[in-house]
Amino acid sequence: MKTMISTAASLSALMLVAACANTPTMAGDPAPAFDTDFPPALVELNFESHGDRLNGHAYLADGPGPHPTVVLLHGFPGNERNLDLAQDLRHDGFNVLFFHYRGAWGSEGTYSFTHVIEDVAAATDYLRANAEALRTNPDKLILVGHSMGGHGALTLHFKYPDTYRSCSAFSPITSPSRVPWGEKAFTAYIGPPSIAWEQYDATELVQNRQTDAHILIDTGKADQFLEPQLKPEIFIEACEMSGQALTYRLHEGYGHDYYFIATFMSDHIAHHAKALKA
């Protein structure tokens, strides 16, 4: 009996080996062809903003460039860093500069609404000063931000329209001087309500500083901050009154998190690619 079982087992094993030997070899996906002299790269970097050292990374696209470069701005306090989105942007031929504002994730200094704006300006100066080393086209800089980062993206775009060719945002704070977050922060860092607040408020800036860019914004209707802090209707009305080109999309069922951004990032990539060709 043992002999019969052993024989059957041996025959089964031989049949399995024969079957495997006759199985056609499946061709795998070809390895991506990178520029051997200028391959995709990740560069750790730091730079100063008003005397404080900020930490960041530059994601460099394949090839010598110079490449259009996205300054990717995270929200408060940087929990959602969206770094896989930086990989997607790089895959599509964009460089990406990602950094932490003062007081966030090991960067020196204190975090605030006003410091975000100053830190983005410092990051832009760093990009321009190191454009050749970072394979960056300084004439094709793009701002993309989420939440507090969206506030930074829009504010800097209106303040320096000749610096940033295109701008988009996810769930941005667009009227900080009219919502609790901004009122508290501005009072603490700027002082009582005054004209100085307007320099850090996209809704105020767009009334007198319209740009040629077409701005794209996406926000989730299930965002817990939609009514108390984001109040998109204020910014939308200001853009309509000033003639600023804007597409503001509100999406059912989406909140304030990374999954919302990841769902619609491809639209933003296409948006910026189109803007650069205009």
Active site residues: 147, 223, 256
89-121 burial code (b ≥16 CB/10 A, e <16): bbeeebbbbbbbbbbbbebbbebbbbbbbbbbb
- Name the nearest CA neighbour of 115 among 80, 165, 85, 149: 149
Is residue 107 within 8 A of residue 100, CB to CB? The reply is yes
Which strands, in side-by-side order, build the sheet including 164-170?
41-49, 52-60, 95-99, 67-73, 136-146, 164-170, 215-220, 246-251
Write the DSSP symbol of residue 257.
S
- The beta strand positions in the chain, using DSSP E, are 41-49, 52-60, 67-73, 95-99, 136-146, 164-170, 215-220, 246-251
